[in-house]
Amino acid sequence: MKELSQLHTARTGYQPKLPSVFYNGPSVKIIKGKAGSSVSDHDKIKALFPNTYGMPTIGFEKTDIAEYRPLNLGVILSGGQAPGGHNVIAGLYDGLKACHPDSKLYGFLGGPSGLTDNKYLELEADFIADFRNTGGFDMIASGRTKLEKKEQYEATAKNCKALEIEALVVIGGDDSNTNAAVLAEYFAQNGVNISVIGVPKTIDGDLKNEMVEASFGFDTATKVYNELIGNIQRDANSAKKYWHIIKLMGRSASHIALECALRTQPNYAIISEEVEAKKQTLHEIVDELTQVVVKRSNNKEDFGTLIVPEGLIEFIPEMKALISELNDLMAVNEKELNTIKDSETKRNYILDKLQSETSALYRSLPKQIAEQLIMERDPHGNVQVSLIDTDKLLVYMIAEQLEILRAQGKYNGKFKTHTHFFGYEGRCSFPSNFDADYTYALGYTASLLAENKCTGYMSSVRNLIDSAENWIPGGIPMTQMMNMERRHGEDKPVIKKALVDLNGLPFKTFVANRDKWAIETSYIYPGPIQYFGPAAISEIKTITLELEHQ
């Protein structure tokens, strides 16, 4: 038996809480709600998903008798890690076994490729026990293989049928659940009797809507980042000589940056969605940051903290246009670009093919940033923003501005900096009590959706601001969350990302306080996640969730 840490041992003994509708186990019946339509592009989405479009939402109601036959279910983890993934699987297992003791759960190894390559493991109680309430995806591992070809669908169907699997659960983010929706439609169109169900995972917080109030992992990851930011801010306030520029994970939305700003009160936090709405240029952003540095220096405080969202560069309109053109250009010229090994030659090749305005912008960027913008895209066609040194670019440009002001006699301070990127640090932490409960409930809910032959649905647990007993489990059609987006030079159906709502209370609360935080040192030091003790500290929820439910 492998050795476990004391915390690990204690956490595996934690029993996650469930909504009261599941207090008698799976003695529930399906309640159908209203049928919905896609977020936009209704006709196009309907044409692509004729069998799974326009389905009703699903809820559960207690019943005295519910009989279930044995069910074999498969599960994969897809995409980046998020705290709580293991508890989704534990919830799936417990739900299945509560329905019928002869049911089986198979974990496909390494993500979607496990489905196509037929690499799997039957998950049993003793094996799952050591992973309950723990972080990471190492129980069955994850992967980023995109399921998009007929051969992959056929291989998946063949491998599932060989194990007599009747339902497949995909635990992933917006792209992974888009794949799940496409797979569900393919099975439905081709008479394959396998249900496909999604589970909303991403620490970025951008997979949510009316029925999916939060993606799992967001609560834990932001708590981890808040502890780190708080530690840095205490150090900054102690040494009083460094500016700390902190880049936070969040490829396509600034939910993490906003939550961390609300919880730790840094001197400045950039919210990408506001940058896009204001149509700010890179130089305008730098001007604002520079003024904060100068004002604090005038108050004898040559130190501070700045939070930068990982995906900022894609929200600056001029940069967004450049990246969009680069994406199409690289998709069309992929073969030729792959033959060019020298970075300078590749950069010049790109420059020759860009339009005049974007070419001028691209030429003006520091060489390192220019090269990072043309690195290989991820499997979904997205630029890998985590590899772009946006934080260092801002430091470079702020330093240049300060030297100009120094020459003009308008600045006489010191600008010493440290840059940080917090991403992986938050992806595999032991889940908070909230995420441990939430993910377990999502898994249990998914098992009931599978038992009731629901396909093309995402597991949903709502009313999260309340205690777990009052949470509302159900399912939402994945096509209801879709729109058309440009990917690899083509229009593709994808689940729409939920961005920061600039009219929402979380952002308005931030705006109401940021001018004060910019000049005054108002830091908060949240400390580490608490798993035990009074509910006031062990059951604390994100400020984002609290404000969204006011």
Identify the CATH number of the domain defined by range 35-59+69-217+431-487. 3.40.50.450
Using CA atoms, how far residue 437 sits from 138, 203, 356, 360, 443, in Å, is 19, 16, 53, 51, 10
E-assigned strand segments in 144-212: 165-172, 195-200
Closest CA to 432 of 140, 82, 4: 82
Topology adopted by domain 318-382: Arc Repressor Mutant, subunit A (1.10.10)
Is the confidence at residue 293, as pLDDT, over 50?
A: yes
Identify whether the C-beta of residue 52 lies closer than 8 Å to the C-beta of residue 478: yes
Q: Where are the domains of the chain?
A: 35-59+69-217+431-487, 219-310+389-423+503-548, 318-382
Calpha distance 377→422 (Å, rounded)? 21
- The pLDDT-based confidence of 96 (bands split at 50, 70, 90) is very high
Topology adopted by domain 219-310+389-423+503-548: Rossmann fold (3.40.50)
Is the confidence at residue 1, as pLDDT, over 50?
A: no
The arithmetic mean of pLDDT across residues 189-210, rounded, is 96
Closest CA to 124 of 107, 142, 136: 107
The pLDDT value given to residue 378: 66
391 as an active site residue: the answer is: no
Same fold, 35-59+69-217+431-487 and 318-382: no
- The pLDDT-based confidence of 450 (bands split at 50, 70, 90) is very high
Phi, psi torsion values for 41, nearest 5 degrees: 55, 45
Condensed to tens digits (0 to 9), the pLDDT of residues 247-290 reads: 999 888 999 999 999 999 999 999 999 999 999 999 999 999 99
Using CA atoms, how far residue 242 sits from 245, 299, 464, in Å, is 10, 15, 39
- The pLDDT-based confidence of 399 (bands split at 50, 70, 90) is very high
Closest CA to 83 of 383, 325, 429: 429
Q: Which of 94, 204, 391, 435 is catalytic?
A: 204
How many residues in total does the chain contain? 550
Calpha distance 540→199 (Å, rounded)? 23
Tally of CB atoms within 10 A around 313:
24
The pLDDT value given to residue 13: 93
Calpha distance 144→140 (Å, rounded)? 14
Return mean pLDDT, the chain: 94
